[in-house]
Amino acid sequence: MMYPTKLLKGGIDPPSVTTVPPGSAIVNAALPSRALIPLLQHAGAPARCLVKPGDLVREGMIIGRAEGLRSAHVHASIPGVVREVRPFTLPTGESCEAVTIELGGSFETSGKPTVRRAWDGLHRADLLQKIRAAGVVGLGGESLPTHLKLAADAGRAVSLLAANGLDCEPSLSVDAALLRQKPAEIVEGLRICQSLLSPRRTVLALGDHSEELVGEFERLIDRCGMTAEVLVLPARYPQGHEQLVASAISGTPPGADPTVTVLNVATLLAVFDAVVLERPLIERVMTVTGSTLSRPQNLKVRLGARVGDLLEECGGQPATQKVVMGGPMRGVSVQSLDLPVTKGTLGILALGASEARAPAELPCIRCGACIEACPWGLAPTRLFKLVRIGKATAAFREGLSRCTECGCCSYVCPSRIPLSSILGQGKLRHSREATR
């Protein structure tokens, strides 16, 4: 299988902290006895709460209605009784209301025979409404409501629809596992999106660790009569970023072509569930791993499940010194194990003392390693110095807005300067100054 001609510049190959091979079976996590469900699990404003303490809720029932363009509906992941509605702070620092549901009553869909519904004859507006009603958002980390990405204006040409099968971070193997266990559903989800966008070109991008799946996906694509290509990209971090995937396929600079749509394969599976099974987004697959876990796994988890319970299910040990929600490069360190899984939770890492210890920062030696590693063609050392002396606006003029805080610069820095987090602070500072 040939690689596209435009491949990732820079990037890194960090060692993985996971022992979950891509071919490992996805395991159903235990159902939570209580689910804490935040009403902000998407890119826009928090959903409006529709329930109160004492209310009975059904599995999959809408409990938060989307408010605003970039908001998404939120559903009950388990049946039961609403015990509490309270203010809640997410690991990102954002605030919203959260609904606590205590498990009780019968399940209306789980464990029951699934009925597949034909969709080919549905109007475009009906397909988009099914995806919107299910609360589907991007499951690769961006959390933008998926119906917005698929609601291209009539007459606007879409040059490329890309299915992104590369895991977005080292140590996470969710997408690789889904490609192996849900290939037909992913292809059908891609076909639904293709029917909505009518792109000139459709591509399924796999990482080189999934190259053996090319033949199977080509057969599935042929069987359903869809026109699409299967390409293989080197799984060098951060090649899984949607702009870099699009750039590698199209040959254009990252972000240069606004007519490209990229959807993560987990999102395509959620589209399939929403349209074919009429199932809302109430669970997701995630990697739970780390050096202090005896049974790291890819788990299918109900939204609202407690982080501590999942670590225990994967053999958590007292040696754990640090817990990260997300991946090792862009994840967020958390202090509480009572936090819930949300639509945007890609993984949980349990780290030991040696991994949790932050190295001492030393002066910059101007080695240029961060410049070579930056996949966006930036000079992180220059931008970091501008931010540190309070010149965030000048840093923006030199390209700070293109920084995605992927962490490559911090990883390769021999002086252990936290370049990525400092550049993130500069972006935040500039944003605040711009709104004054």
Residue 224 has pLDDT above 90, yes or no: yes
Q: Which residue has better confidence, 109 or 269?
A: 269
**Is 14 in contact with 85 (CB distance < 8 Å)?**
no
Per-residue tokens: 173: 């193997």
- Residue 304 sits in the same domain as residue 391: no
- Residue 129 sits in the same domain as residue 265: yes
Q: What is the mean pLDDT of residues 333-340?
A: 94
- Residue 202 sits in the same domain as residue 71: no
Asked which of 42-46, 63-67, 207-211 is least confident by mean pLDDT, the reply is: 207-211
- State how far the Cα of 152 lies from the Cα of 196, in Å rounded to an integer: 8
Residue 258 pLDDT class (50, 70, 90 cuts): confident
Residue 160 has pLDDT above 80, yes or no: yes
Last residue of some domain: 75, 110, 145?
A: 110
Q: What is the structure's pLDDT at 113?
A: 76
pLDDT averaged over every residue in the chain:
92
The two beta strands, 62-65 and 48-49, are: antiparallel
Under 8 Å CB-to-CB from 338, ≥6 apart: which residues? Answer: 36, 306, 307, 308
Residue 19 pLDDT class (50, 70, 90 cuts): low
Last residue of some domain: 357, 381, 397?
A: 357
Q: What is the structure's pLDDT at 10?
A: 87
Residue 357 has pLDDT above 90, yes or no: no
Tell me the CA distances in angstroms from 204 to 119, 265, 299, 311, 330, one per residue in order: 22, 9, 24, 33, 25
Residue 317 pLDDT class (50, 70, 90 cuts): confident
How many domains does the chain contain in total?
4
Residue 56 has pLDDT above 80, yes or no: yes
Q: What is the mean pLDDT of residues 204-217?
A: 94
Q: What is the mean pLDDT of residues 221-249?
A: 93
- Residue 201 sits in the same domain as residue 143: yes
- Residue 348 sits in the same domain as residue 389: no
- Residue 129 sits in the same domain as residue 210: yes
Q: What is the structure's pLDDT at 74?
A: 98
- Residue 245 sits in the same domain as residue 260: yes
Domain coverage including residue 295: 282-357
Per-residue tokens: 186: 């992913």
Residue 153 has pLDDT above 70, yes or no: no
- State how far the Cα of 72 lies from the Cα of 274, in Å rounded to an integer: 14
Q: What is the structure's pLDDT at 320?
A: 85
The two beta strands, 160-165 and 202-207, are: parallel
Residue 314 pLDDT class (50, 70, 90 cuts): very high
Q: Does residue 15 lie within any of the structural domains?
A: no
Q: What is the mean pLDDT of residues 395-407?
A: 93
Q: What is the structure's pLDDT at 156?
A: 72
Last residue of some domain: 303, 322, 357?
A: 357
Residue 5 has pLDDT above 60, yes or no: no
Q: Which residue has better confidence, 111 or 378?
A: 378
